[in-house]
Structure 1
Amino acid sequence: MIAIALALGASLGWGASDFLGGLKSRTAPLLTVLLVSQSAALLLVTALVAVRGAGPPGAGPLGQAAAAGAFEAVAVAALYRGLAAGRMSIVAPVAATAPAVPLLAGLAAGEVPGTLQCGGLGLALLGLVVTSWRSRADDGAASRALPSVLYGLLAALGFGAFFIAMGGASEGDVGWALLTARLTACTAVAAAVAAAVVLRRHRVALSRTDLPAIAAIGALIVTADALYATASTHGLVSIAAVLGSLHTVVTMILARVFLRERLARPQRAGIATSLLGVLAISAG
């Protein structure tokens, strides 16, 4: 029971952070949102590692963790941009197909997935096609549907690569893997901000009212990560993964409640199909 409660808590944290990140990216510069939220997350992870007192692992796991951080930075940027510029109820489930990436990587390496995972991959891909479809009578909304799908796909690829790299990095030490990945992500975002400022394409502007909410994004991410990691040690990882993947549902519910987003029947069917695919892939 405790594992179920922790995994559900992780899904709430991830879903809320995704929604809040996309929402704040509509009123504040994306790079500023990323820099503040990732910096807040880095401070929290650093404190956690310091409290644990464990030494760092070898160069191999740390290198994989650095790669994971770079992939995560790209994924989060694509996700927040998609949630800000597109429709949250489309971006979120498309991005949730990230488990298909490690599955395909396993296929390339000669690993044959189970029947449930194969079925889940097919459902996820079918859901993408259905979600991106728009009738001619809804051409205005189509202009937002396509970017939503594309940003969601980029986020899915980034998160999928993050899962693969982090899987190897965690064999050394989970805490140090998370810290190294977060440090890399923060460095990448800071470099992007600096380049944008030099090119005069970005202004580091943030109102005092936005600062607490954006910093809270980092706190939500770290909290969700910790809840999920703990859940995986108290129960079956497959069950924790299935429950944790419900964060997309949380994002869509928040978008429906606070933004009044509506979808046509084909899009609702596509989202449901993608979510079923995600659950099948995670449970396989």
Structure 2
Amino acid sequence: MTAVALATACAVIFGTADFFGGLATRRSRVLAVVVCSQLGGMVLVLALMPFLPGIASSGALLWGMASGVAGGLGIVLFYRGLAMGKMSVVAPITATTAMAVPVLFGLLAGERPSVLALSGVVLGLLAVMLVSREPGGSAGLTLGPVLNALASGAGFGGFFILLKLAPADAGLWPLVGARIASIALVAALAVATRRSMRPAAGSWRVTIAAGVLDMAANVLFLLAAQRGMLILVTVLVSLYPASTLLLARYVLGERLSSTQIAGVGCALGAIALIAAS
């Protein structure tokens, strides 16, 4: 499969994982969902190791662990931002920053997409801002939540960059390192704050499903990043909120705003432009 196809599939699965994660957090404690879902993801990546073998070098594990710390901090800061401010403010800033950081890194590293592909990148940035925004998003815009959202987005963007920097022959070992680090980080946070890591009854299946889908998306991202430019792969992957919105619309019956519908349209346009480049 091409990098574009892998990244697009990754976005769809990431969005589905977020949908299941959202259902899980409605039924159980957030930190319990994060820890247990990531354990489920670890089981999947270990099961896939024989089919996607690689060299277990120190570089593979260290880059992976660094990405896991960045992603884990991104998650913690994201939830902290949600506690401080409105979702309609925090989510679009986080999502846009998570896309912009790898794009800037790719440009500085010498990646030069075509004009058509760059048009898709710009449209993708617009799409992420639109699909992540809820009505009334400009209200309650204060410095604290904004800075927290920027830091959270930088953490997520760092996750993508650090995985890209892992050795090309590492196979799935960077994801093993990433998961070890992120599980340890979130578990330590749960212990420090005396939060239970046991999901509520009835939430196990959806929690594990979220973790397995999240890891499947991580695998697809790693494969895509090994085959294509970080700029284009990250932009396509960052369109995942569109699939989350569509699942919420057709499974839960939630209504989408005109802004979010426009964002979904921009996302489809961004995919088409990057694929055609």
Mark yes or no: TM-score above 0.5: yes
**The structure with more helix, counted as a fraction of residues:** 1
TM-score for both structures, normalised by structure 1: 0.70
Question: Do structure 1's residue 63 and structure 2's residue 62 form an aligned pair?
Answer: yes
Q: Structure 1 residues 277, 5: CA separation in 2 closer, same or farther (over 3 Å shift)?
A: closer
User: Shift of the alpha carbon at 1:174?
Assistant: 2.4
Report percent identity of matched pairs: 33
Structure 1, unpaired ranges of 5+: none
Cα contact 1:100–1:281 (8 A) shared by 2: no
User: Shift of the alpha carbon at 1:248?
Assistant: 2.6
**Paired residue for 1:32?**
32
**Paired residue for 2:246?**
253
Whole-angstrom CA distance in 2 between matches of 1:129 and 1:242: 12
Other structure's SS at 1:99 match = helix
User: Shift of the alpha carbon at 1:116?
Assistant: 4.1
Question: Do structure 1's residue 176 and structure 2's residue 173 form an aligned pair?
Answer: yes
Cα contact 2:41–2:212 (8 A) shared by 1: yes
Amino acid at match of 1:220: L
Whole-angstrom CA distance in 2 between matches of 1:150 and 1:119: 28
Q: Tell me the alpha carbon deviations over residues 91-134 of structure 1, each in whole angstroms, 9 at most, x when there is no partner.
A: 48962663321221234456555434554554455567767888
Which moves more between the two structures, 2-11 or 166-175? Answer: 2-11
For this pair of structures, how many residues does the alignment match? 272
Q: Larger Rg: 1 or 2?
A: 1
Amino acid at match of 2:245: M
Whole-angstrom CA distance in 1 between matches of 2:107 and 2:95: 21
Q: Structure 1 residues 277, 154: CA separation in 2 closer, same or farther (over 3 Å shift)?
A: farther
Question: Do structure 1's residue 265 and structure 2's residue 262 form an aligned pair?
Answer: no
Cα contact 2:128–2:241 (8 A) shared by 1: no
Cα contact 1:95–1:153 (8 A) shared by 2: no
Q: Structure 1 residues 277, 161: CA separation in 2 closer, same or farther (over 3 Å shift)?
A: farther
Whole-angstrom CA distance in 2 between matches of 1:24 and 1:282: 34
Amino acid at match of 1:103: V
User: Shift of the alpha carbon at 1:253?
Assistant: 0.5
**Paired residue for 1:210?**
203
Question: Do structure 1's residue 73 and structure 2's residue 66 form an aligned pair?
Answer: no
Cα contact 1:36–1:214 (8 A) shared by 2: yes
**Paired residue for 1:49?**
49
**Paired residue for 1:19?**
19
